[in-house]
Amino acid sequence: MKELKKINLLLFFLFWPLISWGQNFGFVNSVKGKVFLVDEYGNTKLLKRGDGLELHSQVFVEEKGQLTFADYNDRQYDLASEGHLKFGKNSIEVRKGFLRVKSKFATKKVINIKTANSQTSFTSGEAILSYDLSNGSTQLLSIDGHFYFENPLLLGSKIEVYGGQFSTIQADLTGGQPQTPAKIGENSLNLAMSEFYTLKTPSRSISSVENATPVPGKIIFIPKNGVRKETKSPKLKRKPASEPELTPVSIYIYGRKRIKSTKGRNIASEKNDLESLLRELQSVK
């Protein structure tokens, strides 16, 4: 009996992801501000990253908020501030606001995005769909891809909208028929894109890195016999490139007489000093 319970429990955990996947439209990627989900039973909760989006549930985005979510076909969606939508099986109903969809990978799974007077069908691409409650206007801006746009209440109203085109459905303009697709203007696209927030990552320019200032240092030699020898350099002073000048340095060996080079000595005397220094170094090995 105990073994049977263990098997049932194991099967439950194995198949639960598949069961929940079948009950959800997708899942939350990120939330800005406050976003509420109301399920089909009227229960309300605040959404957070990783939450599942149940079928037949509704989502409400507060002012200055945004919801980013994905379905199980690699499509990503952004619902802008004050947006309202409802999830169905392979469909989304936009009841208010702006919805952006992006799909990088081709798929055979068709998704339908509906409003009160329109239906948009596609498999992949990028577009912005908006519905204005005040005048009952639906607008589709196709940024990339191929979309079918129609008024489901009017037979034979389906049109094709390609990347770089837009169309509108509004009862008092064309009797509810989709307008003939036209080229998207730069101002119209920028206005639609401004409804969505984008994450900005701070950048650091090279000029923000301070230049390193040279400091005086010293060189220490440790020969095989362990006797320490040190060469000190004086403080560095920057001089114009047009006036190059050699700087005298003091070189000495611990336990030996200090040898000091002076400015303005002739080459022969400097050569003798160098030979003397080499003899001193050899004598301490």
Question: In this structure, are 189 and 219 located in the same domain?
Answer: no
End residue of a domain, out of 139, 164, 193: 193
Is residue 260 domain-resident?
Answer: yes
Q: Is 239 exposed, middle or buried (0-12, 13-18, 19+ CB in 10 A)?
A: exposed
Provide the pLDDT for residue 140. Answer: 97
* 222 and 274 together in one domain: yes
Contacts of 180 (CB under 8 A, 6+ apart): 159, 167
Residue 270 binned pLDDT confidence (cut-offs 50, 70, 90): low
How many domains does the structure of the chain reveal? 2
pLDDT category at 171 given cuts 50, 70, 90 is confident
Confidence class for position 176, pLDDT limits 50, 70, 90: very high
Do residues 76 and 180 both lie within one domain? yes
C-alpha 115/C-alpha 93 separation (Å) is 6
Please indicate, yes or no, whether the overall pTM of this predicted structure exceeds 0.85.
no
The model's pLDDT over 129-148, given as tens digits with 9 standing for 90+, comes to 999 999 999 999 999 999 99
Alpha-carbon radius of gyration of the chain: 38
Mark whether 136 and 39 lie in a shared domain: yes
Domain span at residue 224 reads 214-283
> Per-residue pLDDT tens for 46-85?
999 999 999 999 999 999 999 999 999 889 999 999 999 9
Strands 91-103 and 66-71: unpaired
pLDDT band at 239 (very low <50, low <70, confident <90, very high): low
Residue-wise DSSP of 4-48: HHHHHHHHHHHHHHHHHHHHEEEEEEEEES-EEEE-TTS-EEE--
Q: Which of 193, 224, 259 is the last residue of a domain?
A: 193
CB 151, CB 118: distance < 8 Å: yes
| Average pLDDT taken over every residue of the chain | 78
Assigned domain for 279 exists: yes
Q: What are phi and psi of 119, to 5 degrees?
A: -145, 130
